[in-house]
Amino acid sequence: MFETHTAIVFFACDRAYKVKKPVDLEFLDYTTVAARRAACEHEVALNRRFAPDVYLGLGEFRGPDAQAPEPLVVMRRMPADRRLSRLVREGADVDDVLRTVARHLAAWHADAPRGPEVDEQGTRDALLSRWEAGFAQVRALAAEGFVPAEVPETERLVRRYLAGRKPLFDSRIERGRVVDGHGDLLAEDIFCLDDGPRVLDCLEFDDRLRYVDGLDDAAFLAMDLEQLGAPQAAAYFLARYGEFSGDPAPPSLWHHYIAYRAFVRAKVSLIQARQGASGAQAASRRLAATALRHLRSSAVCLTLVGGLPGSGKSTLSGALADRLGVTLLSSDRLRKELAGIPVEQSAAAGYKKGLYTAEWTARTYAALLDRAAVLLSSGESVVLDATWSDAGQRAAALGVAARTSADLVALHCHVPDDVSAARLTTRAAGPSDAGPDIAAAMAAGEPPWPEAVAIDSSGPLESTVARALAAVRPWGAGQAPVFRRPYMEPD
């Protein structure tokens, strides 16, 4: 026998029989026989889309005192030793299975039902409503002492992320990424048979909760694999799903959906704890911690990396963007792009002359921040490589971060004068045209930048990057994995 918060599954010979519990959990009501029968019929129809040879049909039984026969779902019994969750716990190599599941899921999503009713559930506001409903349900358990300590910060981070990301969710709908999916993709419901995996038990009690972004659907299994102690398998699965689906989603959205799925499971564990299930409270705390970890990693951040020529700001910017897996924008490169000059072509001129007049600089920074704003609204964190010596430009950057509900971190690189001079006299031609004379002139008029974290970039690059990372992601070792683009291998 196997029991969940909504059903009980009995096993006999080569069959499995699933009975709905007569419960009312607010988000579903199975208190009548008619409701349980409708739910069983719907479950069979929906799951035949994924595993037609497993869901055999509807059955019923009658107890000695029953007024009406009790409906149940009749299934072909799957071998317990082939559950994906069991194989993961045993340390088996499941990459081939995960690759196949990712391919099948992406194929289903490509042809899955779509339409206005489905799209409606993929909006930013619909997702926020689901989060808020979950928060309310968890808070309702407060009197029983079950609410995890992570919930307040979770609420804040969710609202901040969604507040600035409406263009991202609108674009997901426009690209057809919102589908009628599986809705409850867990490793314990995937069976690794010799002729291919069988995916069971899709969400059936509320169609709207199955109308999801395809990445949200995939994120459920990734979250579950993490809970089974296999974060590398989770990252591998998402990377393969991204590859097969051709999904260009920003990593922040991957993290957000994993957090959402973890919080949903935390809520379910709280319900199970109230029903007396052993270990449910501990599971809820663990899942709530996972949700918070991914929400912290999903936070969209605008990082300003500034400093004088020769301070190492461009080197740090590139290394930091690569380490974080985020977009890098450079004022030196953009300035030449706006002027129609190849990046490697010299545009050297005197201090505040040529392409370095106040007008050209203002135009460059305005374009830099405009591009950053578009990226931030789309869920992309950005590193901006520029001198940032003007307080007005820094205030404009702060305004962009506020309008897009993005965090802002400022890093100010500095080195001893002799180190700067040595770098400027020996570096090869590139995007920057500043030499020692320009750097000296800029240093003479450089105003203080008290809001920035001072970064001594005169030492080894790895040490400099470590100090920068500590400022950008202060939670350090508690962060979730860095996800890469679909066409890249995960770290």
Domain assignment of residue 483, yes or no: no
pLDDT of residue 433: 65
281 inside domain: yes
Give residue 309's region: left, alpha or beta (phi > 0; psi -120 to 50).
Answer: beta
289 and 348 in a single domain? The answer is: no
Predicted local confidence at residue 97, as pLDDT: 96
Q: Is residue 263 situated within a structural domain?
A: yes
DSSP designation for 434: -
Domain boundary among 242, 273, 298: 298
- For 213, list phi and psi in degrees, rounded to 5: -65, 135
Q: What phi and psi, each to the nearest 5 degrees, are found at residue 288?
A: -65, -40
Do residues 369 and 398 make contact, with C-beta atoms less than 8 angstroms apart?
Answer: no
- 488 belongs to a structural domain: no
Do 277 and 308 share a structural domain? Answer: no
- What lies within 8 Å, CB to CB, of 2 at 6+ separation is 8, 9, 11
pLDDT of residue 477: 46
CA distance 79 to 194: 11
> 49, 52, 2, 481: which is closest to 254 by C-alpha?
481
pLDDT of residue 481: 60
Is 486 contained in some domain?
A: no
How much is the pTM?
A: 0.87
114 shares its domain with 100: yes
Please check whether residues 250 and 314 belong to one and the same domain: no
Which of 318, 156, 326 has its CA nearest to residue 252? 326
Same domain, 381 and 355: yes
What does the longest C-alpha to C-alpha distance in the chain come to?
97
The sheet that has 301-307: what strands, in order across it? 327-330, 382-385, 301-307, 407-414, 453-456
* pLDDT recorded at residue 189: 95
The angle subtended at Cα 320 by Cα 256 and Cα 288, nearest 5°, is 25
Residues 133 and 250 in one domain: yes
Specify the pLDDT at position 385. 96
Residue 196 and residue 210 in one domain:
yes
One domain, residues 101 and 48: no
End position of a domain, from candidates 22, 53, 75: 75
Q: What is the CATH number of the domain that holds 405?
A: 3.40.50.300
> So what's the pLDDT on residue 429?
63
Mean pLDDT by 10 residues, the chain (491 residues): 86 94 88 93 95 95 81 96 97 96 96 96 96 91 72 95 97 97 96 96 91 97 96 96 95 96 92 84 92 95 93 94 94 90 76 79 96 98 95 96 97 89 73 73 82 93 94 70 50 34
- Cα dihedral angle (55, 130, 84, 238), rounded to 10 degrees? 120
Question: Which CATH number is 144's domain given?
Answer: 3.90.1200.10
Co-location of 31 and 117 in the same domain: no
Judge whether 225 lies within some domain.
Answer: yes
Residue 425 lies in a domain: yes
Say how far apart CA 267 and CA 259 lie, in whole Å: 12
Residue 305 pLDDT: 97
Sequence-distant (≥ 6) Cβ neighbours of residue 308 within 8 angstroms: 387, 389, 414, 420, 439, 442, 443, 446
- The total number of structural domains in the chain stands at 3
3-state SS assignment for residue 193? strand
Q: Is the domain of 416 the same as that of 287?
A: no
Range of the domain at 472: 301-478
Angle 244-249-250 (CA atoms, 0-180°, nearest 5)?
A: 135
Domain end: 52, 75, 98, which one? Answer: 75
Same domain, 12 and 89: no
**Residue 484, domain member (yes or no):** no
Is 95 in the same domain as 59?
no
